């Protein structure tokens, strides 16, 4: 790839450690797409026309994403370029540096795909023969220089130095990283505040600790949403306001019923219950011979009740309380 002097739209690939501009991506995509179409027996002009249309659209999308990332200065932004753009870079770079064969050509022939140098990860080969040839021709000394240069590269995000791509600290924080995340959470800082403040690694570690706490909680197979957590906090606050001492009895209600709060499906519901401390109009002492009317709650003589209705369970009232009809 020729050296590109276009500064606007420059994109850095964290996987391949190189910068590519939209114009270079456009040229390479056009050539690759046109070569595939021509190989299939398509005329050259339609092949180039089709490749130009697709490549222009992809380059425009990446150009817009770069401008959007630059507008968010001071905030942590995702890696420039989408997943689709990363696959495009794989196509551009996976070419044998010795014989020039591409990864697509090897796949069509049923051969193993192109592999990169296991040390510097910057050179691609189609096989062991090409790798040994390039090694003897000078890559042996060049490989050490590339490794030394990569070790000196400093990665910054939001003005804060962060570990480079692939560093295990991103996924596996050290004890010092976890302790810093705990202190930040204890101070009331939110993960998004740390990330937007220029320390994305701290924000990621804080978020990881929060997820671990949610999963370790009872019933934490799935992380609870923020709405459910807010609702739970409100319910706890209400219970704290309403709680009474176990020895303290609620005042008796004049109507003979007390309100009782129960939880159904996680929501408080008020239900009425008869207060045993209230007096009813039942006569004191042993009940006289007879039955108790369900309306006036007074024991009546046997003759005041309708025997047939009483047996059928249709009436529990005395004759004086039964509504005619």
The sign one gets for the Cα dihedral 217, 218, 219, 221 is positive
2 pLDDT band, cuts 50/70/90, is very low
CA distance 198 to 162: 10
**Mean pLDDT computed over 258-287:** 59
**Sorting pLDDT into bands at 50, 70 and 90, what band is 181?**
confident
Residue 202: the pLDDT is 78
For 127-146, write each residue's pLDDT tens digit: 888 888 888 888 888 888 88
pLDDT digits over 82-138, tens only? 566 566 666 655 778 888 887 777 766 666 667 878 888 778 888 888 888 888 888
Q: What is the pLDDT of residue 131?
A: 86
Q: How long a stretch of residues is the chain?
A: 325
- Predicted pLDDT of residue 173: 77
Domain boundaries defined on the chain: 1-93, 95-148, 283-325
Percent of the chain with pLDDT over 90: 0
Question: Tokens at residue 175, please?
Answer: 């004890």
* Residue 297 in this model has a pLDDT that exceeds 60: yes
Alpha helix ranges (H) inside the chain: 22-39, 44-71, 83-93, 103-108, 128-134, 140-152, 175-186, 191-196, 200-216, 226-242, 307-312
Residue 147 CA to chain centroid, in angstroms? Answer: 35
- The pLDDT, as a whole number, for residue 138 is 85
- The pLDDT > 70 percentage for the chain reads 30
| Phi, psi for 20 (deg, rounded to 5) | -135, 135
Tell me the two tokens of residue 268.
């408080």
Q: What is the mean pLDDT of the chain?
A: 65
Query: Any bridge partners for residue 217, and if so which?
Result: none
Which pLDDT value is given to residue 176?
83
> In angstroms, what CA-CA distances link 289 with 292, 316, 320, 322?
10, 16, 18, 20
Residue 73 and residue 153: Cα distance in Å, rounded?
21
CA–CA separation, 203 vs 184, rounded Å? 9
Cα-flanking dihedrals φ and ψ of residue 10, to 5°? -75, 130
> Which of the pair, 51 or 141, is modelled with greater confidence?
141
**What 3-state class would DSSP assign to 30?**
helix
**Residues in CB range of 196: below 8 A, 6 or more apart:** 74, 75, 76, 203
pLDDT (0 to 100) of residue 6:
44
């Amino acid at each position: 790839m020729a050296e590109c002097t276009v500064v606007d739209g420059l994109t850095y690939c964290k996987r391949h450690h190189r910068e590519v501009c939209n114009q270079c991506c456009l040229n390479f995509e056009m050539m690759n797409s046109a070569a595939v179409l021509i190989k299939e027996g398509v005329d050259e002009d339609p092949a180039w026309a089709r490749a130009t249309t697709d490549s222009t659209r992809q380059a425009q999308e990446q150009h817009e994403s770069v401008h959007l990332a630059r507008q968010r200065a001071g905030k942590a932004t995702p890696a420039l370029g989408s997943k689709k753009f990363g696959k495009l870079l794989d196509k551009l770079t996976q070419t044998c540096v010795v014989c020039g064969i591409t990864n697509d050509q090897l796949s069509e022939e049923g051969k193993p795909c192109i592999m990169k140098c296991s040390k510097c990860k910057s050179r691609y080969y189609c096989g062991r023969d090409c790798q040994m040839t390039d090694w003897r021709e000078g890559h042996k000394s060049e490989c050490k220089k590339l490794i030394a240069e990569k070790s000196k590269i400093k990665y910054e995000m939001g003005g804060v130095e962060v570990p480079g791509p692939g560093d295990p600290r991103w996924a596996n924080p050290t004890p010092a990283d976890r302790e810093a995340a705990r202190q930040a959470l204890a101070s009331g800082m939110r993960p998004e505040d740390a990330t937007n403040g220029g320390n994305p690694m701290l924000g990621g570690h804080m978020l990881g600790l929060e997820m671990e706490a949610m999963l370790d909680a009872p019933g934490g197979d799935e992380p609870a949403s923020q709405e459910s957590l807010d609702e739970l906090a409100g319910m706890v606050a209400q219970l704290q306001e309403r709680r009474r001492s176990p020895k303290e009895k609620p005042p008796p209600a004049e109507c003979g019923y007390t309100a009782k709060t129960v939880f159904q499906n996680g929501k408080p519901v008020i239900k009425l219950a008869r207060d045993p401390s209230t007096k009813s109009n039942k006569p004191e002492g042993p009940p006289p011979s007879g039955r108790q009317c369900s309306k006036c709650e007074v024991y009546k003589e046997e003759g005041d009740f309708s025997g047939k209705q009483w047996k059928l369970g249709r009436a529990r009232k005395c004759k004086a309380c039964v509504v005619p009809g």
